[in-house]
């Protein structure tokens, strides 16, 4: 069975935001619906959540600064509508946890497996990961995010996210407490990196969602 739903293992990887977002949002809403059932909500809320998402996207259309922003907005607002649905029914803290779980877990194994397969197959895993990062910065994140690259050479790739579209949208909808869920989504591909096997390590000491001034994504070769 093909578990690489995001084509991370393919050569010359270019993200497909429309496909990737559809996979993530579908899995996310399915998990939210399961949480609702576990808390005694008899009717499947998926249809209602999708209607609310469409309405909220239309109300925030001015945030679509480029094509990647269209899909980043959809994914972020999916968290908002799910949180607004769950919080009155199960409480704010349990709702935050449920949103995080629904975003991170359903596609986690696919993301990790794809990233690991890509790194395992690469002649130079460090260079391959740096190329994937740069491709995602351009094609998946786009103008809604701000990036600085203090180091970019054959031994280190350090990129700092100095503006986070996800965080800005969540703050605007009084849901900043959900930003760490977006940060946690990265744990899936981070877990695929084996410094001993792949020859580089990854560090991210903080994020904007966790109170940092920026999100430092640091890729560094390790001594062999």
Long-range contacts, 202-206 (Cβ 8 Å, 24+): 202/129
Residue of higher predicted confidence among 14 and 99: 99
Q: How far apart are CA 15 and CA 7, in angstroms?
A: 8
pLDDT of residue 6: 45
To the question of pTM greater than 0.85 for the whole model, the response is yes
- Considering the chain, what is the average pLDDT of its residues? 93
Kindly report which listed range (30-39, 140-149, 215-224) carries the lowest average pLDDT score. 215-224
Nearest alpha carbon to residue 38 among 108, 119, 110, 94: 94
pLDDT digits (tens, 9 = 90+) for 136-175: 999 999 999 999 999 999 999 999 999 999 999 999 999 9
pLDDT of residue 17: 86
- For residue 179, the Cα-to-chain-centroid distance in whole angstroms is 10
Q: 167 in the Ramachandran plot: left (φ > 0), alpha (ψ -120 to 50) or beta?
A: alpha
3 state SS of 181? helix
Q: Across residues 117-122, what is the average pLDDT?
A: 96
- Asked if the model's pLDDT at residue 14 lies above 80, the reply is no
Assigned token pair, 198: 């792949």
Q: Across residues 70-94, what is the average pLDDT?
A: 97
- Asked if the model's pLDDT at residue 12 lies above 60, the reply is no
- What does each C-alpha distance from 188 to 21, 43, 66, 149, 173 come to in angstroms? 16, 31, 26, 23, 26
Q: How far apart are CA 1 and CA 11, in angstroms?
A: 20
Residue written as tokens 């199960």? 90
Q: How far apart are CA 165 and CA 24, in angstroms?
A: 17
- Asked if the model's pLDDT at residue 1 lies above 50, the reply is no
Q: How far apart are CA 82 and CA 73, in angstroms?
A: 14
- Confidence class for position 224, pLDDT limits 50, 70, 90: low
pLDDT of residue 196: 97
């Amino acid at each position: 069975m093909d578990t690489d739903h995001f084509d991370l293992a393919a050569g010359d990887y270019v993200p497909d935001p429309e496909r990737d977002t559809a996979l993530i949002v579908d899995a996310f809403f399915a998990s939210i619906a399961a949480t609702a059932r576990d808390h005694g909500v008899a009717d499947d809320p998926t249809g209602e959540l999708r209607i609310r998402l469409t309405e909220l996207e239309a109300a925030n259309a001015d945030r679509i600064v480029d094509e990647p922003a269209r899909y980043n907005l959809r994914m972020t607002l999916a968290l908002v509508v799910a949180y607004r649905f769950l919080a009155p029914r199960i409480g704010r803290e349990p709702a935050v946890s449920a949103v995080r779980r629904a975003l991170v877990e359903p596609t986690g194994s696919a993301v990790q497996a794809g990233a690991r397969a890509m790194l395992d197959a690469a002649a130079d895993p460090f260079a391959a990961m740096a190329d994937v990062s740069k491709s995602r910065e351009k094609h998946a994140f786009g103008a809604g995010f701000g990036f600085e690259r203090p180091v970019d050479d054959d031994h280190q790739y350090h990129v700092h996210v100095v503006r986070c579209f996800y965080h800005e949208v969540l703050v605007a909808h009084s849901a900043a407490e959900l930003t760490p869920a977006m940060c946690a989504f990265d744990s899936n591909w981070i877990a695929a990196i084996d410094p001993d096997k792949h020859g580089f390590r990854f560090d991210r000491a903080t994020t904007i969602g966790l109170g940092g001034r920026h999100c430092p994504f640091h890729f560094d070769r390790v001594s062999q």
